[in-house]
Amino acid sequence: MHDTDLFTPISIGDLALSHRVVMAPLTRMRANVPGHNANEMMAEYYGQRASEGGFIIAEASQISDDGRGAPCTPGVHTAEQVAAWKLITQAVHAKGGKIYLQLWHMGRLSHPLYQPDGGAPLAPSPVAAAGKVLLPDFSRADLPTPRAMSTAEVAGLAERYAHSARCALEGGFDGVEIHAANGYLLEQFLQTRSNQRTDVYGGSIENRCRIVLEVTKAINAVCGSRRVGIRLSPFGIANDSGEDDPMPLYSHLIKQLNTLDLAYLHLIEPRASGAGQRDVDHQNVPSAAELFRAMWDGVLIAAGNFNRDSATAMLAKGDADAIAFGRYFISNPDLPERLRIGAALTPYNRPTFYGGGREGYTDYPAMNAG
């Protein structure tokens, strides 16, 4: 057992943090459209949740227009978007907090209405995901059959991610997180159900991991590896994802990533594999952090339905070094302080998670408000 708890200081990459309560990346669909820019309301939201020496991973943001697949999500690939993100990073830094941005491409989970050319969304293979896509007007439609990317297009992804990482740094972020979880494009390459390619990006585990490693190395070259994290969901089933036997695939990938001196590895626990669509709490499933801890020498962040007691227990066991909280950070802007003193938590209002205005976004009070 370790003496570590949620309020033991920690260094994550280049960041010296005063506690281990991390704000998880949370899609909220409140960016300005057109332009897909961050805005003052988003700056207020993140500023409310910043704390001295605290660490926020800001919401998934598309690396390019063809990476979009949901309404009102922000991008991080244009000069206008860079300028808008400065509102957020300045608000967090003013409170003494640190903030990364999560880099995202939705791949086959998009729709022609989001594509710049009106065509099929990009994917490793022309295999449609089961489920629905949220259209720009917030109605739902079946997910379409995507278009398989050419070998050259896949190889070009690394530079597109690197450009997005460069934009994030210009926008004032302290670093970036690579989103390779929850059924989005990079995970689509990892898993056999969505990757049926026969070129160097398909087939063997080594080939399916290739683009994730190429993207990571390209971003490292831009940011420096100590300003880069990556998020994986080895046992996730969100968005029609999932590998029948995740251990061989993710053991290989994590061992390869371990050689790259990243700031952290961020693992989603299997009990939280609903990815925001519903409350899930799978029982009798393995702990991803526990299973992969021995393969990872650096900082490991665990996410998924944690409360104060379960987070403290995982840190004490040494399976993770920090804990990411999502939904309770939505409804408790001062979550670290509430956890520190054991205060009651404000319940969240799920219908206000996606889209809308201030309600369920910036109107949750801190303990001492009013």
How far is Cα 9 from Cα 20, in angstroms, rounded to an integer? 7
CB 112 within 8 A of CB 193: no
Residue type, 77: H
Task: List the catalytic residue out of 46, 100, 114, 184.
Answer: 184
184 is catalytic: yes
How far is Cα 265 from Cα 285, in angstroms, rounded to an integer? 20
Backbone φ, ψ for residue 62 (5° rounding)? -70, 145
Q: Which of 63, 326, 33 is nearest to 184 (CA)?
A: 63
Radius of gyration of the chain (CA): 19
First CA to last CA distance, the chain: 41
* Both tokens assigned to 107: 């791949």
Angle formed at CA 362 by CA 360 and CA 365, multiple of 5 degrees: 90
99 three-state secondary structure: strand
* Both tokens assigned to 346: 């404000």
213 burial (CB, 10 Å; 0-12 / 13-18 / 19+) is middle
How far is Cα 194 from Cα 150, in angstroms, rounded to an integer? 15
Q: Which of 354, 282, 289 is nearest to 318 (CA)?
A: 289
How far is Cα 132 from Cα 355, in angstroms, rounded to an integer? 17
Active site residues: 184
